[in-house]
């Protein structure tokens, strides 16, 4: 957990506009809260995308 208002530079780096924002391996990936299975799928997709770049 990162408290966005206490670390404005980090929030700025990841472009935090609404919370919760989940950053996966240094890239903003999931906005909002999702059911577990969906959330995990988004995270796994973000990992693949990150590895491809």
Using CB under 8 A as the binding rule, the residues of this chain from 1 to 53 that contact other proteins are 1-7, 10-11, 14, 16, 19-26, 36-37, 40, 43-44, 47, 51
| Phi, psi torsion values for 6, nearest 5 degrees | -80, -20
Shortest Å distance, C-beta 53 to other proteins: 13
Distance CA 4, CA 48 (A): 26
Structure token digits, residue 3: 């408290």
Residues of this chain that bind other proteins (CB under 8 A): 1-7, 10-11, 14, 16, 19-26, 36-37, 40, 43-44, 47, 51
């Amino acid at each position: 957990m990162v408290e966005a208002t206490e670390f404005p530079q980090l929030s700025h780096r990841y472009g935090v506009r609404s919370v919760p924002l989940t950053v996966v391996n240094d890239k903003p990936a999931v906005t909002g809260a999702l059911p577990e299975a969906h959330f995990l799928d988004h995270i796994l997709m973000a990992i693949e995308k990150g590895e491809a770049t």
